[in-house]
Amino acid sequence: MLLLRRDKEPLRGKWTGVGGKTEFSEEPLESCLREVKEETGLDIEPKLAGIITTINKAEASKWFLFVYVADGYSGDLKQSSEGFLEWVNEEKLYEKDLVFIRVSLPYVLHRERKGIITGKIIHDGREVLGCILRDEEKILLKMPK
């Protein structure tokens, strides 16, 4: 998985996926393709894997994350002005300071998931305070229980 250690706020110094804000004239897929190209130099064929609401209680902010996965890419990786890019294998993935995406990754990356993952993650910028994630059939994770 390609991760970005952010050099800018929000989440400066934390590891996250590549992405950014959707521009006024874009829909989420167009935004994904543009952000990946701008931040990495790579072209991908993404598939929607999740729509997750993140709520940062410390900053009183809420974001809707359209989470895409891609099995391959073309082009040459270039370092990003947003932060440091690193390919990380699955065994080392959870050694990184992933903040709130840590709870959703096992479900989003699971190849046999039923449809897209939806839900919300409530956090304070440092730790997860609560979450609920579901697929088409059932609740996958609920914190606190």
What CATH number is attached to the domain comprising 17? 3.90.79.10
**What pLDDT does residue 145 have?**
67
Hey, what are 132's tokens? Answer: 């609920």
Q: Give me the number of domains the chain comprises.
A: 1
Averaged pLDDT of the chain: 93
Structural domain of 79: 2-143
What's the rounded mean pLDDT across residues 19-36?
97
Burial class of residue 131 in the structure, from the number of CB atoms within 10 Å of its CB (0-12 exposed, 13-18 middle, 19+ buried): buried
Q: In 58-100, which ranges are continuous DSSP H helix? A: 90-93
Give the confidence band of 58 by pLDDT, cuts at 50, 70, 90: very high
Q: Give the torsion sign (CA, 5, 8, 14, 19).
A: negative
